[in-house]
């Protein structure tokens, strides 16, 4: 099962371990579906909204190139997401190590 999940999602061994360790036996499919659906729903839904809000606020404040400033939220969000996932990965690995 883990090999099929790994092949479908291009996940690393650590991520597969997190899926099976946190979700527990028999719940890997639910964890995998949440891993796939969650970012797919949140990113396209909230990304344009946040970009537009930053762009509109910058334009209202007479900051030149408000759209460019709004679009800079994308790489910032990517970095913050990567850091959050790294911290979460370390915490879950530590928790699994204590079991």
* Per-residue tens of pLDDT for the chain, all 99 residues: 555 555 555 566 666 666 666 666 777 777 777 777 777 777 778 888 889 999 999 999 999 999 999 999 888 888 888 888 888 878 877 877 765
Round to whole Å and give the CA distance between 35 and 28.
Answer: 10
**Residues near 82 by Cβ (< 8 Å), separated by ≥ 6?**
none
Q: What pLDDT score does 97 carry?
A: 75
- Residues 51, 70 contacting (CB under 8 angstroms): yes
Q: What pLDDT score does 53 carry?
A: 93
**Residues near 58 by Cβ (< 8 Å), separated by ≥ 6?**
65, 66, 69, 70
Residue with tokens 């209202």: 60
Residue with tokens 């990567």: 82
Round to whole Å and give the CA distance between 25 and 7.
Answer: 19
Q: What pLDDT score does 14 carry?
A: 65
Round to whole Å and give the CA distance between 94 and 29.
Answer: 23
């Amino acid at each position: 099962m883990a090999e099929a999940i790994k092949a479908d999602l291009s996940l690393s061994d650590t991520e597969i371990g997190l899926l099976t360790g946190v979700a527990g036996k028999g719940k890997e499919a639910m964890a995998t579906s949440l891993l796939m659906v969650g970012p797919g729903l949140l990113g396209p839904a909230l990304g344009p909204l946040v970009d537009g809000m930053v762009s509109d606020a910058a334009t209202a404040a007479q900051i030149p190139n408000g759209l460019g400033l709004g679009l800079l939220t994308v790489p910032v969000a990517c970095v913050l997401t990567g850091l959050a996932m790294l911290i979460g990965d370390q915490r879950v690995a530590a928790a699994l190590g204590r079991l």
